[in-house]
A and B are shown apart, each in its own frame.
Chain A
Amino acid sequence: MRKGMAIAPSPILETTQVRKRRRIALTLLVACLLLFGLDALLFRTRLYTSILEPDSSAGLLELILWREKAAQQTAGDNLVVTLGNSRMGYTPRIVDQRPRQTGYAVRTAGVAGSDPRAWYYLLRDLDPTASRYRAIVFGIDDYDDEDHAFNPDDDIRALHYCIARLRFGDAIDFAQSFHSREVQWEAFRGAVLKGIALQSDIQAFLAHPLKRIAYVRLCHQGWPDWTYNYVESSRNMVGLQIDWSTLTATYPPGMTDEQKDTVHGWLLYAPNPQTGRLAHFLRTWLGRTADRYRTSRTKIVFFRLPRGPILRPDYLVKKRSSSIRELASRPNVILANEHLFDCLEHPEFFKDAVHLNRDGVERFSAMLADEVARILGPPGEPAAR
Chain B
Amino acid sequence: MLFNTAHFFLFLAVVLALFYTSPRAFRKYILLVASYFFYGSWNYRFIPLLLTLTAIDYTAGRWLEKVPPGPRRKAVLILSLCANLGFLGFFKFYNFLGSNLAWVLDKPANSYFLNIVLPLGISFHTFQSMSYVVDVYRGEQQAVRNPIDYALFICFFPQLVAGPIVRARNFFHDLWHWQPPTSEDVSRGVLLIALGLTKKMAFADQFAKVANDYFKNVSGNPGWLTAWSGVVAFGMQIYFDFSGYTDMAIGMAKLLGFHFPVNFRRPYLAASITDFWRRWHISLSTWLRDYLYISLGGNRHGRWMTYRNLMLTMLLGGLWHGASWNFVIWGGYHGAMLAVERVFRGNRPVREDWNWLYPLKALATFAMVMIGWVFFRAADLPQSLQVLHQMFRGHGHLLLANWHLELIAVALVLAVVEEKFEGFERVLKAPMLAYASALALMFFCIEVFGVIDASIPFVYFQF
Q: How far is the CA of A195 from the CA of B448 in the complex (A)?
A: 5
**CB contact under 8 A between A5 and B175, given known A31-B436, A35-B444, A207-B402:** yes
- Measured CB to CB, the closest approach of chain B to A311, in angstroms, equals 40
- Measured CB to CB, the closest approach of chain B to A163, in angstroms, equals 13
B186 close to A (CB within 8 Å) = yes
**CB contact under 8 A between A38 and B440, given known A196-B452, A207-B401:** yes
B325 close to A (CB within 8 Å) = no
- Contact of A17 with B447 in the complex, beta carbons under 8 Å: no
- Measured CB to CB, the closest approach of chain A to B409, in angstroms, equals 11
From B28, B433, B448, B450, give the contact of A5 (CB < 8 A): B28
Q: How far is the CA of A8 from the CA of B450 in the complex (A)?
A: 43
From B25, B179, B402, B444, give the contact of A208 (CB < 8 A): B402
B403 close to A (CB within 8 Å) = yes
- Contact of A1 with B176 in the complex, beta carbons under 8 Å: yes
From B177, B447, B453, give the contact of A39 (CB < 8 A): B447
Contacts of B436 in A (CB 8 A): 27-28, 30-31, 34
Q: How far is the CA of A24 from the CA of B176 in the complex (A)?
A: 26
Give me the interface of B with A, judged by CB distance under 8 Å. Answer: 24-25, 27-28, 145-146, 149, 175-180, 182-183, 186-187, 190, 401-403, 406, 432-433, 435-437, 439-440, 443-444, 447-450, 452-453
Contact indicator per residue, chain A 1-29, by CB within 8 Å of chain B (1) or not (0): 11111111100000001001101101110
Give me the interface of A with B, judged by CB distance under 8 Å. Answer: 1-9, 17, 20-21, 23-24, 26-28, 30-32, 34-35, 38-39, 186, 193, 195-196, 198-199, 202-203, 206-208
Q: How far is the CA of A322 from the CA of B452 in the complex (A)?
A: 39
Contacts of A7 in B (CB 8 A): 24, 178
Residue of A nearest to B176 (CB): A4
- Contact of B432 with A26 in the complex, beta carbons under 8 Å: yes
- Contact of A206 with B24 in the complex, beta carbons under 8 Å: no
Most buried by B among A9, A30, A31, A193: A31
From B25, B178, B437, give the contact of A34 (CB < 8 A): B437
- Measured CB to CB, the closest approach of chain A to B437, in angstroms, equals 6
Q: How far is the CA of A199 from the CA of B453 in the complex (A)?
A: 12
**CB contact under 8 A between A28 and B190, given known A3-B25, A4-B177:** yes
**CB contact under 8 A between A39 and B187, given known A5-B25, A27-B439, A31-B436:** no
- Measured CB to CB, the closest approach of chain A to B205, in angstroms, equals 12
Contacts of A195 in B (CB 8 A): 444, 447-448
- Measured CB to CB, the closest approach of chain A to B186, in angstroms, equals 5
Residue of B nearest to A22 (CB): B183
Known: A20-B183, A35-B443. 11 other contacts (CB 8 A): A4-B175, A5-B25, A8-B24, A24-B183, A30-B432, A30-B433, A30-B436, A31-B439, A34-B437, A203-B401, A203-B449
Contacts of B450 in A (CB 8 A): 196, 199
Residue of B nearest to A209 (CB): B402
- Contact of A5 with B439 in the complex, beta carbons under 8 Å: no
Contacts of A207 in B (CB 8 A): 401-403
- Contact of B187 with A24 in the complex, beta carbons under 8 Å: yes
- Contact of A5 with B24 in the complex, beta carbons under 8 Å: yes
**CB contact under 8 A between A38 and B180, given known A206-B406, A208-B402:** no
Most buried by B among A5, A30, A38, A195: A5
Contacts of A198 in B (CB 8 A): 448
- Contact of B448 with A199 in the complex, beta carbons under 8 Å: yes
- Contact of B183 with A2 in the complex, beta carbons under 8 Å: no
In order of increasing CB-CB distance, the 8 nearest A-B pairs are: A20-B183, A34-B440, A31-B439, A206-B403, A30-B436, A207-B402, A195-B447, A4-B176
A-B contact list, 20 entries, CB within 8 Å: A1-B176, A4-B175, A5-B25, A5-B27, A17-B180, A17-B182, A20-B186, A27-B435, A27-B436, A28-B436, A28-B439, A31-B435, A31-B436, A31-B437, A32-B440, A35-B440, A193-B447, A207-B401, A207-B402, A208-B402
From A5, A186, A203, give the contact of B178 (CB < 8 A): A5
Q: How far is the CA of A9 from the CA of B190 in the complex (A)?
A: 23
Contacts of A8 in B (CB 8 A): 24
Contacts of A206 in B (CB 8 A): 402-403, 406
- Contact of B448 with A21 in the complex, beta carbons under 8 Å: no
- Measured CB to CB, the closest approach of chain A to B256, in angstroms, equals 11
Residue of B nearest to A29 (CB): B436
- Contact of B403 with A31 in the complex, beta carbons under 8 Å: no
From B145, B401, B433, give the contact of A2 (CB < 8 A): B145
Q: How far is the CA of A199 from the CA of B183 in the complex (A)?
A: 35
Q: How far is the CA of A9 from the CA of B182 in the complex (A)?
A: 13
Q: How far is the CA of A9 from the CA of B440 in the complex (A)?
A: 34
Most buried by B among A9, A23, A24, A186: A24
Residue of B nearest to A9 (CB): B180
Residue of A nearest to B174 (CB): A4
- Contact of A23 with B440 in the complex, beta carbons under 8 Å: no
- Measured CB to CB, the closest approach of chain B to A162, in angstroms, equals 18
Q: How far is the CA of A208 from the CA of B405 in the complex (A)?
A: 12
- Measured CB to CB, the closest approach of chain A to B361, in angstroms, equals 31
- Contact of B146 with A2 in the complex, beta carbons under 8 Å: yes
Contacts of B180 in A (CB 8 A): 9, 17
**CB contact under 8 A between A23 and B183, given known A7-B178, A30-B436, A203-B403:** yes
Contacts of A193 in B (CB 8 A): 447
Q: How far is the CA of A186 from the CA of B6 in the complex (A)?
A: 13
- Measured CB to CB, the closest approach of chain B to A1, in angstroms, equals 7
Contacts of A4 in B (CB 8 A): 175-178
Q: How far is the CA of A3 from the CA of B178 in the complex (A)?
A: 9
Residue of A nearest to B257 (CB): A5
Q: How far is the CA of A134 from the CA of B417 in the complex (A)?
A: 62
- Contact of B448 with A202 in the complex, beta carbons under 8 Å: yes
Q: How far is the CA of A2 from the CA of B146 in the complex (A)?
A: 8
Residue of B nearest to A185 (CB): B6
Residue of B nearest to A14 (CB): B180
- Contact of A24 with B440 in the complex, beta carbons under 8 Å: no
- Measured CB to CB, the closest approach of chain A to B146, in angstroms, equals 6
